[in-house]
């Protein structure tokens, strides 16, 4: 099973979760790799995914790299290199032909624009994969999560579940209470909870929750 991983915002831990999931799947003998269709700014996320994927060729993991640290649509305009969505879709299909599981990581949040009249949600719809939403556990997470879940559902896509990612060691009241209420408010199961600094993922527990 392959998944499309998005986040409630940028910097919420999508790459960390994807890397941990890929490493855990591969440790179980599963043929899993990562895919970062488009990067804006540095290429660090794609490098982490390539390393987690057993050293997969970086250009297969990340076919489109834009240097400006802005949304891909804007970066493409600045660099006179508009992103071709068909290239992103074909990059996924190429990996899917060679590997049993492809973990696709979006850029930023769910509605980040990639090209003219085309954003992350459109890419997810074109790939047709179950969506995993990574929630940065902080004040505001409830609002961002509910809005994103509503938008995913509006596209008619399957939401496999939520991943709660703790962004700091010390938890404030919002971070402590978020997990207990977020599943109730959205009706979406929590697949995993990642503690700040955690370097592993229980893949059996994850797969059981995702089934």
For the chain, what is the radius of gyration of the CA atoms? 16
> In terms of C-beta density within 10 A (0-12 exposed, 13-18 middle, 19 or more buried), how is residue 164 classed?
buried
Token pair for residue 49?
């995914």
Nearest to 150 by CA among 168, 131, 163: 131
Clarify whether 36 is annotated catalytic.
Answer: yes
Catalytic residue among 14, 16, 36, 166: 36
Cβ-based burial of 118 (10 A; exposed 0-12, middle 13-18, buried ≥19): middle
CA–CA gap between residue 40 and residue 30 (Å, rounded): 30
Number of Cβ within a 10 Å radius of residue 86: 9
User: Which residues, 6+ apart, have CB-to-CB distance to 147 below 8 Å?
Assistant: none
Q: Angle at the Cα of 158 (from 121 to 142), degrees rounded to 5?
A: 70
Task: Give the integer Cα–Cα distance in Å for 87 and 63.
Answer: 8
Q: Which residues are catalytic?
A: 36
């Amino acid at each position: 099973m392959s998944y499309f991983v998005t986040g409630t915002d940028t910097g919420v831990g999508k790459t960390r979760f994807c890397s941990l999931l890929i490493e855990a799947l591969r440790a179980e003998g599963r043929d899993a790799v990562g895919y970062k269709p488009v990067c804006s700014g540095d290429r660090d996320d794609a490098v982490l995914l390539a390393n987690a994927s057993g050293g997969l060729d970086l250009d297969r993991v990340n076919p489109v790299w834009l240097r400006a640290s802005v949304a891909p649509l804007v970066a493409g305009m600045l660099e006179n290199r508009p992103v071709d969505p068909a290239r992103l879709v074909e990059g996924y299909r190429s990996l899917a032909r060679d590997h049993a599981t492809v973990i696709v990581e979006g850029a930023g949040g769910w509605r980040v624009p990639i090209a003219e009249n085309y954003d992350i949600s459109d890419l997810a719809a074109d790939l047709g994969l179950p969506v995993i939403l990574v929630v940065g556990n902080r004040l505001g997470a409830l609002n961002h999560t509910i809005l994103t879940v509503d938008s995913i559902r509006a596209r008619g896509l399957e939401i496999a579940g939520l991943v709660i990612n703790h962004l700091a060691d010390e938890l404030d009241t919002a971070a402590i209470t978020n997990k207990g209420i977020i599943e109730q408010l959205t009706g979406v199961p929590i697949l995993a909870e990642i503690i700040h600094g955690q370097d592993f993922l229980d893949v059996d527990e994850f797969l059981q929750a995702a089934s």
